[in-house]
Structure 1
Amino acid sequence: MADDLATRVRADASTTAEAVTKGAALLDDVIRNLISRQGRYPDIASAHDWYLALAYTVRDRMLARWVASARTYSIQGMKVACYLSAEFLIGPQLGNNLLNLGIEDDARKAMFALGLDLDELLAVEEEPGLGNGGLGRLAACYLDSLASLQIPAIGYGIRYEFGIFDQEIRDGWQVERTDKWLEKGNAWEIIRPEVSYYVGFGGHTEHAADASGHLRVRWIPARQVKGVACDMPMQGFRVDTCNLLRLWKSEAVESFDFEDFNAGEYYEAVHEKVHSETLSKVLYPNDEPEIGKRLRLAQQYFFVSCSLQDMLRLMDITGTPIEDFAEHFAVQLNDTHPSIAVAELMRLLIDVRELSWDAAWSITQRTFAYTNHTLLPEALETWSLPLFNSQSPRLLEIIYEINRRFLEDVRRAFPGDEERVARMSLIDETGGRKVRMAHLATVGSHAVNGVAGLHSELLRQTVMRDFAEMFPERFLNVTNGVTPRRFVMLSNPGLAQLLDKTIGDEWRSDLSRLGALAAHADDPAFHEAWRAIRRDNKAALALRIQKTVGIDVDPDMLFDVQVKRIHEYKRQHLNALYIIALYRRLCRNPDLVTAPRCFIFGGKAAPGYAMAKLIIRLITGVAEVVNHDPATRGRIKVVFYPNFNVKHGHWIYPAADLSEQMSTAGKEASGTGNMKFMMNGALTIGTLDGANVEIREEAGPENFFLFGLTAQQVEDSKREGYRPQQYVEANDELRDALEQIAQGRFSRGDTNMFRPLLDNLLHHDPFLVLADFADYAACQERVSEAWRDVRQWTRMSIINTARSGKFSSDRAIQEYCERIWDARAVRIDLAHA
């Protein structure tokens, strides 16, 4: 039936028969999947039905490569890089997989033959709610690069049923809606009930000597949860390598209690199922209340235990001795969320596999490496001892023993320095005893890396100084990177085609080849082509803005963009203060010569972060006033683009003229949005923070708009007694902007709405917003002047793209492989696997 239907469809599309010849096989398979997998036929199929049929067709091609990859790794006994992360913000998969397989044109022709538009089907796909921001986006980029570089790899995480939240803006405020990304299923995953593991919680431990007189510990959990593997293929770019993202779904060990049911206890009969499935229900529950903390810790232990048990199972399948574990698996801890894995691997090796402590500890340290993503002390996870003990009593015993042995080493290395011992202890004894997870990750790993040159140096100098002095050989830097496949080739096809035409297509697999673009930076014809592509991207974004938020935007304006998580240290409110000052300046002087601008914001505030939500409300309040004032029509527009995610980033990154990277120096670990903007030709206005330092070095100071205090100046200012009021007194525009907010100008006359934000700025200003305002405003004037020189701005834009090659995730993964994991590429030959 499927063959007959495909023939009939091609006959009906006879006028396009030549156009679809190359996609004929794909077309046949799409129709076959529509019928055999979904029970639909073309006359009644919805857009979502067709999307699924195409997704299954693409997945089938990936699975052949996945099987070939897994078989090759098994036969050759290759070392596998395992990336443990609480987030994998992988984005929509269909377009990316079509691109990586090299069949996007075939798919477009096949869909056209069916009377369908591929772009419309791509828009149907729901974005997987498996992450929040940079941490998860980085993990996804690394999976892309691992497969593209043909490195054997597995990503391990949690299959969240609900993502963090969908963001709406109602009456100017952020409103959180449930992210039901799995509501219509997930075409890319394969659920494997046969690959499941039990994870215990609570209970008690029993200590006894075995027949050889060795102490053995038995953990008797109060309850258990089953983790079931849900697999998603991760296809490499134009190679046959297809790696694995394995996510764990929690289930009850016994889903239904017939005794309770027969006794009339209907709720109790399913209670365990409901309770167990809560573990993988939602990404990042609010951890302010105790129940939220308990769930987050349980989630972390759940997914690392399942992942480590899975690695041990793979060892057993191949008959590899457990003593060789570290030679077969390199496990990267992406931030502190999976750091409990250090104690769990020790438990599995000592209690389950009955290795000696010294043998187990050697394996553990050689296996793990830890990536630190923050210098903010509040972001370095700690867990209270009572909470930890109630969840994992055996692991707490192991952490105590790790700490006892480690502190003996500290005392030998630094005799008499008990203050250092207290600082380095895995247990924080001040203000309520807590387990310091970053310390556990550092002690249990053979390598600790920061994610930008400045961040890694500050890591050694500040939060990890004691450890860096004791283990200097462990600390290194691996600057973050992003995948050019998704963030240039997929999201900016016009630019990708221009690059192919100008410098060849080798840049697609080696981003350093973009350097050749610099030779065209002064070519007038190339300038014209460059500007045409950029304007098309801006026009497309302007159309989406109009449809999404109802604001008309002129694509010829300077698109000044700040999209990222809303946080005080990222300083979106500094941007807002400048907009108010510029708006007031234009109101006073309508003839002022300045670049017409559209300020575009996007990002989510954590549900429990009141100050971040207030910053969003300030931005929307400013937009409400500025966009409706005839005095500034055509001069300024302000847009808050709701629900910023990977999908929306596809439109925003290619359309930005100016990238706002204005975090307080010393607070941003690296950033990855800054790299995506740079690749797409945006110029950066920013502080010397995170990867901005390296972006400026690569682009050249003349192609970067620098402002603000340095990290050292920030520390000096705080040490000397920072007084925010002195900056207000010295700057009329800043004082006026703050007064306008206080008077209710941007809150519909409500003089109390922004009082917490103003009080925080005027009396504390922990992130030195007011100290950097004057320099930021002056820098924005340099931006405006540069924008008016079209030739020079175009040249700067081209140079930024040309010098962005360093920031490919391929380069970062190569450094991990060579400097930390000792992992090597394996060529997969689909024809002979």
Structure 2
Amino acid sequence: MTTTEKSNGATGYGVAAKIPASAHPMAGEPKEIASNINYHVRYSPHFSAFKFEPEQAYYATAESVRDRLVQQWNETYLHYHKVDPKQTYYLSMEYLQGRALTNAIGNLNIQDAYADALNKLGHKLEEIVEQEKDAALGNGGLGRLASCFLDSMATLNLPAWGYGLRYRYGLFKQRITKEGQEESADDWLEKFSPWEVVRHDVVYPVRFFGQVEVQPSGFRKWVGGEVVKALAYDVPIPGYKTKNTISLRLWEAKASAEDFNLFQFNDGKYESAAQLHSSAQQICAVLYPGDATENGKLLRLKQQFFLCSASLQDMICTFKERKVGKGSWKWSEFPSKVAVQLNDTHPTLAIPELMRLLMDDEGLGWDEAWDVTTRTIAYTNHTVLPEALEKWSQAVMWKLLPRHMEIIEEIDKRFMEMIHSTRPDLESKLPSMRILDKNPQKPVVRMANLCVVSAHTVNGVAQLHSDILKSELFADYVSIWPTKFQNKTNGITPRRWLRFCSPQLSNIITKWLKTDQWVTNLDLLTDLRKFADKTDFQAEWESAKMANKQRLAQYILKVTGVTIDPNSLFDIQVKRIHEYKRQLLNILGAIYRYKKLKEMSPEERKSTTSRTIMIGGKAFATYTNAKRIVKLVCDVGAVVNNDPEVNSYLKVVFVPNYNVSVAEVLIPGSELSQHISTAGMEASGTSNMKFSLNGCLIIGTLDGANVEIREEIGEENFFLFGATADEVPQLRKDRENGLFKPDPRFEEAKQFIRSGAFGSYDYNPLLESLEGNSGYGRGDYFLVGHDFPSYMDAQARVDEAYKDRKRWTKMSILSTAGSGKFSSDRTISQYAKEIWNIEECRVP
């Protein structure tokens, strides 16, 4: 520790020592809040005494906020128990929560009081917030959507709970080196999370392997194998300016003391003595472990089943608890009290597990169990990518979950019988429609098919995506169950994604609208259109945007060492690195721009639009081409940013370790955002909504929610390019048949990489993936080459528009004004009414 740090710590403690340390769990006044924080410093100690540096202050502050949340949480739970409403249980393998402190004090409407309290204790709120690590419980849009949904469920006072897994090391922490992306374990739980409460009284057994025992009566029971415990950790989710505080329940896998073999340990057989303990720890070690090996596949499947089994046992327990003292009840009432939403195919095993629990543990017959299950479970599809529509080896499933495979076989058999008897016209389609793929080379269980056959409702997440599901992916099922399929366009919470991450812009919106009701009614933003041409409003808007850009520039300097100019156009693409999301198209465009700048005279360069291109996101550890894209972005940046001829006109920056907290700095500071996936491949996207809400303009294809964003904000405020979804299949065929003629600019950009301009790394495998006629891989399956000229033309339109500052600012305002539809409050209201059939249950 440096002298300065010692001094700050001592000073901090000296100031804190003057404040009485007394418990005030529901404190509202700064003085009482300061006392409550100091109470946690003294009596909930996690560090050495007499330290009150920012880290210690953060944990004490978080625990003081948690006091209030626990009180509201308990009242919410007791109210639900008393009223016994129908409740939604949201099952997701991912939750990207982001930092909890800012969100909690914002939703509780006590941020100013906490800022004052921390000042009294010698600290600044902004400094304390920075001490919190993002919870590493997710990866991309799927997890962030789940977190936005929880925020909206609480804000709308809906009876709902989230279920997930408590990953010890998350996906990974991304580090950028000269070699590109490097992965290391995320250390978010290195100390502890002050937001979670362990529930030692909420523990359920979860079995793996074993065999099915058939009793003389014909009753079947799953026995043997290994049994681990699911222990609940609850994270409070407060609603905005409401008492309702719901729960995100995270499961941790544990073995018991009896499973530790003391005799083997004392005999020196340490690993075998603690084998089940080690096996249990693996289940929640990381998100999406590599599945190239059979052990990897077993572990992934274990994770999914562990989430489903523990969560369903918990729901059944709650259902029974709420029936105590209320007379007789029947299992047929279960769907009128429980709604289960599967967030993608990861929790599909909830279907056979609910059947097993009802039949084997509760004694129901098949028909009754099937009726309960199909009226309880709904399924959200998030992708049309074949590799993301999970298929599990039948051999692996039989090994790990023998009873569930029996149940899945029976569901498949009954589905086929239904087709034979009611829809003989579909018999030729059965091989692709059935749940069990009987391909002798690779027999698999098709999880999406199991969801569609079993769920009462199937929804897509943007209008275009839902249309594709109905017309292509699930078309044959639609002909059987036309009313089963719905659209629920995704949304984002306006609290985290505007009110809290961009307070200056939020305050301007509130000032001009003369109300802050837009925070829970985003449609009110449409009134901003009235002021879009007003000079003084535009000046205030530009001032707020510039403040956010300056904050972003400081962040980029801090984490990358690259100085960027806030007066340049901030052009940002941040999302999971994947070939279909086409970060490669973005960087090829940047390479062509750099080459043209190099060829210009100094005078010509002065007339160009200066631009800072920022790209961020994680490439999955085993996805080689995605990691090559990260490496290419970094190599281009290293050359461009150090080229004195052009670096005042162009910078290229890879933003490392992209997460929610990084997004909260990037998105408010953005001016142009790239949502450039191949049309028909992005289910929705939600980062596009976050950027638009913050007055950022979009360059994008007609894909996912881009279609609806463009409709809402106006075609003239969206930079459109590229093939449409209905054109893509034919374009792929043309490419395969050698009919594609590449644009000279596309060839020029690729050749510039091959020339060694960006170093000696071998980019040929990446470039060959773009060669449609080379026979390599899928031959530019994502149509980068086809869309490149249209993309470059759209970028030229961006450059021209940015030169007219008044026009650009108006477009920015209209982007925010048109974002009302994209609130997760609207999305969740629709789920509640049209899928879950649940109603508001406000805590009095």
Displacement of 1:8 in angstroms is 7.6
Matched, 1:569 2:580: yes
Task: Please give the TM-score of this superposition, normalised by the length of structure 1.
Answer: 0.95
Q: Spell out, residue by residue over 1:582-609, the C-alpha distance to the aligned partner (whole angstroms, 9 max, x if none).
A: 1111111230432100000000000000
Q: Which amino acid aligns with 1:336?
A: T
Q: Which amino acid aligns with 1:195?
A: V
Displacement of 1:25 in angstroms is 1.2
User: Contact between 2:197 and 2:233, CA under 8 Å: does it hold in 1?
Assistant: yes
Q: Which amino acid aligns with 2:499?
A: M
2:520 corresponds to which of 487, 504, 509: 509
Matched, 1:776 2:788: no
State how far apart, in whole Å, the 2-side matches of 1:595 and 1:485 are.
Answer: 33
How has the CA–CA distance of structure 1 residues 105 and 466 changed in structure 2, closer, same or farther, with 3 Å as cutoff? same
2:569 maps to 558
1:353 corresponds to which of 352, 355, 362: 362
Displacement of 1:723 in angstroms is 6.0
Q: Which amino acid aligns with 2:98?
A: G
1:692 corresponds to which of 706, 710, 721: 706
SS at match of 1:639: strand
1:522 corresponds to which of 525, 533, 544: 533
1:183-222 equivalence runs, <5 A: 183-210=190-217, 215-222=218-225
State how far apart, in whole Å, the 1-side matches of 2:483 and 2:769 are.
Answer: 41
What is the identity percentage for the equivalent residue pairs of Structure 1 and Structure 2?
Answer: 42
SS at match of 1:72: helix
User: Contact between 2:575 and 2:616, CA under 8 Å: does it hold in 1?
Assistant: yes
2:499 maps to 489
Q: Any unmatched runs of 5+ in structure 2?
A: 1-11, 21-26, 324-328, 773-778
1:106 maps to 113
Q: Spell out, residue by residue over 1:298-356, the C-alpha distance to the aligned partner (whole angstroms, 9 max, x if none).
A: 10001100000001111221225433111111000000000110000000001110111
1:314 corresponds to which of 318, 326, 333: 318
Matched, 1:663 2:694: no
Q: Spell out, residue by residue over 1:515-560, the C-alpha distance to the aligned partner (whole angstroms, 9 max, x if none).
A: 1111110110000000000001001100111111111100010001
State how far apart, in whole Å, the 1-side matches of 2:153 and 2:738 are.
Answer: 47
State how far apart, in whole Å, the 1-side matches of 2:537 and 2:426 are.
Answer: 64
Q: Which amino acid aligns with 1:265?
A: K
State how far apart, in whole Å, the 1-side matches of 2:65 and 2:548 are.
Answer: 28
1:745-756 equivalence runs, <5 A: 745-746=757-758, 748-750=759-761, 753-756=762-765
Q: Spell out, residue by residue over 1:460-505, the C-alpha distance to the aligned partner (whole angstroms, 9 max, x if none).
A: 1222111112111100100000111111111111111111111110
Q: Which amino acid aligns with 1:824?
A: E
Task: Please give the TM-score of this superposition, normalised by the length of structure 2.
Answer: 0.94
User: Contact between 2:331 and 2:372, CA under 8 Å: does it hold in 1?
Assistant: no
State how far apart, in whole Å, the 2-side matches of 1:558 and 1:722 are.
Answer: 38
2:658 maps to 644
Q: Which amino acid aligns with 1:283?
A: L
User: Contact between 1:203 and 1:219, CA under 8 Å: does it hold in 2?
Assistant: yes
- Farther off after superposition, 126-135 or 284-293: 284-293
Q: Which amino acid aligns with 1:326?
A: P
State how far apart, in whole Å, the 2-side matches of 1:428 and 1:271 are.
Answer: 35
User: Contact between 2:464 and 2:705, CA under 8 Å: does it hold in 1?
Assistant: yes
2:803 corresponds to which of 788, 796, 799: 788
State how far apart, in whole Å, the 2-side matches of 1:612 and 1:365 are.
Answer: 39
User: Contact between 1:602 and 1:641, CA under 8 Å: does it hold in 2?
Assistant: yes
Matched, 1:624 2:602: no
Q: Spell out, residue by residue over 1:555-590, the C-alpha distance to the aligned partner (whole angstroms, 9 max, x if none).
A: 010001000000000001101111111111111123
Matched, 1:735 2:744: no
State how far apart, in whole Å, the 2-side matches of 1:269 and 1:716 are.
Answer: 60
1:250 maps to 253
State how far apart, in whole Å, the 2-side matches of 1:77 and 1:484 are.
Answer: 30
Displacement of 1:418 in angstroms is 3.0
Displacement of 1:22 in angstroms is 3.3
2:428 maps to 419
- Farther off after superposition, 588-597 or 781-790: 588-597
SS at match of 1:462: helix
Displacement of 1:172 in angstroms is 4.8
State how far apart, in whole Å, the 1-side matches of 2:45 and 2:238 are.
Answer: 24
Displacement of 1:240 in angstroms is 0.1
User: Contact between 1:172 and 1:621, CA under 8 Å: does it hold in 2?
Assistant: no
State how far apart, in whole Å, the 1-side matches of 2:664 and 2:794 are.
Answer: 28
2:6 maps to none
Q: Spell out, residue by residue over 1:775-815, the C-alpha distance to the aligned partner (whole angstroms, 9 max, x if none).
A: 00000000000000100100000000011011010000000
2:272 corresponds to which of 261, 268, 290: 268
Matched, 1:168 2:175: yes
1:719 maps to 733
2:187 corresponds to which of 164, 172, 180: 180
Q: Spell out, residue by residue over 1:25-64, the C-alpha distance to the aligned partner (whole angstroms, 9 max, x if none).
A: 1111000111111166884223221111110100010111
1:610 maps to 624
How has the CA–CA distance of structure 1 residues 819 and 417 changed in structure 2, closer, same or farther, with 3 Å as cutoff? closer
State how far apart, in whole Å, the 2-side matches of 1:410 and 1:21 are.
Answer: 63
Q: Which amino acid aligns with 2:331?
A: I
User: Contact between 1:411 and 1:421, CA under 8 Å: does it hold in 2?
Assistant: no
1:132 maps to 139
1:324-403 equivalence runs, <5 A: 324-403=333-412
How has the CA–CA distance of structure 1 residues 6 and 161 changed in structure 2, closer, same or farther, with 3 Å as cutoff? closer
State how far apart, in whole Å, the 2-side matches of 1:796 and 1:413 are.
Answer: 55
State how far apart, in whole Å, the 2-side matches of 1:669 and 1:554 are.
Answer: 34
Matched, 1:582 2:586: no
How has the CA–CA distance of structure 1 residues 23 and 725 changed in structure 2, closer, same or farther, with 3 Å as cutoff? farther
SS at match of 2:135: coil
Q: Spell out, residue by residue over 1:208-258, the C-alpha distance to the aligned partner (whole angstroms, 9 max, x if none).
A: 353xxxx31011131111100011111000000000110100001434222
User: Contact between 1:169 and 1:642, CA under 8 Å: does it hold in 2?
Assistant: yes
State how far apart, in whole Å, the 2-side matches of 1:775 and 1:606 are.
Answer: 29
1:472 corresponds to which of 468, 482, 490: 482
How has the CA–CA distance of structure 1 residues 594 and 79 changed in structure 2, closer, same or farther, with 3 Å as cutoff? same
Q: Spell out, residue by residue over 1:758-788, the C-alpha distance to the aligned partner (whole angstroms, 9 max, x if none).
A: 1110131010000000000000000000000
1:406 maps to 415
Matched, 1:27 2:31: no
State how far apart, in whole Å, the 2-side matches of 1:588 and 1:8 are.
Answer: 61
Matched, 1:744 2:756: yes
User: Contact between 2:19 and 2:35, CA under 8 Å: does it hold in 1?
Assistant: no
How has the CA–CA distance of structure 1 residues 30 and 321 changed in structure 2, closer, same or farther, with 3 Å as cutoff? farther
State how far apart, in whole Å, the 1-side matches of 2:457 and 2:47 are.
Answer: 53
Please report the RMSD computed on the Cα atoms of aligned residues, expressed in angstroms.
1.8
1:79-118 equivalence runs, <5 A: 79-118=86-125
State how far apart, in whole Å, the 2-side matches of 1:534 and 1:432 are.
Answer: 54
